Amino acid sequence: MGGLTHGLQRAGVRVVAGIDSDPNCRFPYEANNKAAFVAEDVRDVTGASLRRLWNDGTTTLLAGCAPCQAFSTYGRRKGTVRPEEKWSLVAEFGRLVEDTQPDFVTMENVPQLPGHPVLTRFIQSLTGYRVWSDVVQCADYGIPQTRKRLVLLASRTGIVTLETARRLPGAPTVRNAIGHLPSLAAGESDAGDPMHSACSLTELNLRRIRASLPGGTWREWDESLLAACHRGKSGETFPSVYGRMEWDAPAPTITTQCFGYGNGRFGHPEQDRAISLREAAILQTFPGSYRFLRPGERPKFSTLGRLIGNAVPVRLGEAIGISLTRQVRRRRAA
């Protein structure tokens, strides 16, 4: 998809290639970034193939954002995560670091990873590196969502820490991010931007969203609007399901299902619909001009929702890039 690459390039890092096993990433990656897309499973990537991408004598970086499916609530509930897949991608990334020995390493991952043996083993494998890692709040970096992520930085030339969180011009709120976009009804698309498309809603869900207040919960609804999940004991712990966002606050974490009103607090603050794909991408700090579709192509909500929700927010990638380039300049000045 290119969120990390786009942010790194904004910070002045020359990215030569991005690797992903999902071919749906190819068009948006190559259409928006000055880098090649390699469609390959990381398990099949070799250190030798990566080294051939780097020019001799250059400062090298290996950046990864391996999904940790074992921490996915959905995956655990559906039983879709096989034991051998739980930690394999983090381990494979560690293998590639060991095989290539780049000057810098960075990894972005889920906030549940610290304290887990998989992260401990990965850090222990980084022999010869000074390692920094922490869980950061994305809103502190101008990203308009309450998304927490683990960021790890490793360097052979001294400790590198993520740049200090700083408030960028304009508060990171839903209003500042998407308040300028044209209004839509549920099921409509903007004629000028097919990515600004909203899922249709059933008559019952239209009644539910009309009864929902920004920042409110389903507990405020009339009894006739409650779903079966709300009536059960477990429903008490999910008050934000079927919720609306608030204009003057950050959005919740943008997930792979963010285009669906019933999948979280993904209702538009005032329009009776879930957020559009374009709005989700902007809340992930992709530029409004970022191209996800070929000319004439219609969006597939499930595919694009997955790509957008799994992406590294562009501004977080930029903060990582700024931190790394600062260390390079410091080393060259020494």
What is the amino acid identity at position 49?
S
Residue 49: which H helix or E strand, with range? helix 47-51
Q: In this structure, is residue 197 part of a structural domain?
A: yes
| Residue 77 confidence (pLDDT) | 46
Compute the distance between CA of residue 196 and CA of residue 186 in angstroms, rounded to an integer.
11
Compute the distance between CA of residue 8 and CA of residue 264 in angstroms, rounded to an integer.
30
Residue 190: which H helix or E strand, with range? strand 189-190
Is the distance from CB of 242 to CB of 208 less than 8 angstroms? yes
| Residue 83 confidence (pLDDT) | 44
Q: What are phi and psi of 136, to 5 degrees?
A: -115, 150
Q: In this structure, is residue 99 part of a structural domain?
A: no
Q: Domain with 298 in it: what CATH number?
A: 3.90.120.10
Q: Which two tokens stand for residue 214?
A: 């920004």
Look at the chain and report how many structural domains it folds into. Answer: 1
pLDDT in tens, 250-302: 999 999 999 999 999 999 999 999 999 999 999 999 999 999 999 999 999 99
Q: In this structure, is residue 147 part of a structural domain?
A: no
Four-CA torsion 298, 282, 284, 76, nearest 10 degrees = -40
| Residue 169 confidence (pLDDT) | 66
Is the distance from CB of 29 to CB of 292 less than 8 angstroms? no
What is the amino acid identity at position 72?
S
Q: In this structure, is residue 151 part of a structural domain?
A: no
pLDDT band at 237 (very low <50, low <70, confident <90, very high): low
**In angstroms, how far is CA 331 from the centroid of its own chain?**
31
Of the listed ranges 10-19, 110-119, 187-196, 289-298, the one predicted with least confidence: 110-119
- Unique residue bearing structure tokens 């999948």: 263
As a whole number, the mean pLDDT across the chain is 90
Q: Of the ranges 83-87, 135-139, 214-218, which is most confident? A: 135-139
Domain span at residue 282 reads 174-309
Compute the distance between CA of residue 3 and CA of residue 144 in angstroms, rounded to an integer.
15
| Residue 30 confidence (pLDDT) | 97
| Residue 238 confidence (pLDDT) | 63
Q: Which two tokens stand for residue 15?
A: 């990215």
Q: In this structure, is residue 49 part of a structural domain?
A: no
Of the listed ranges 54-68, 76-90, 120-134, the one predicted with least confidence: 76-90
Compute the distance between CA of residue 21 and CA of residue 219 in angstroms, rounded to an integer.
42
Query: Catalytic one among 25, 68, 138, 199?
Result: 68
Q: In this structure, is residue 303 part of a structural domain?
A: yes
- How many C-beta neighbours within 10 Å does residue 57 have? 6
Q: Give the helix ranges, DSSP H, for 145-212.
A: 174-178, 203-210
Compute the distance between CA of residue 106 and CA of residue 62 in angstroms, rounded to an integer.
7
Is the distance from CB of 46 to CB of 99 less than 8 angstroms? yes
| Residue 236 confidence (pLDDT) | 56
Q: In this structure, is residue 292 part of a structural domain?
A: yes
Q: In this structure, is residue 223 part of a structural domain?
A: yes
pLDDT in tens, 72-125: 544 444 445 454 455 688 999 999 999 999 999 999 999 999 988 999 999 999
Active-site residue flag, 199? no
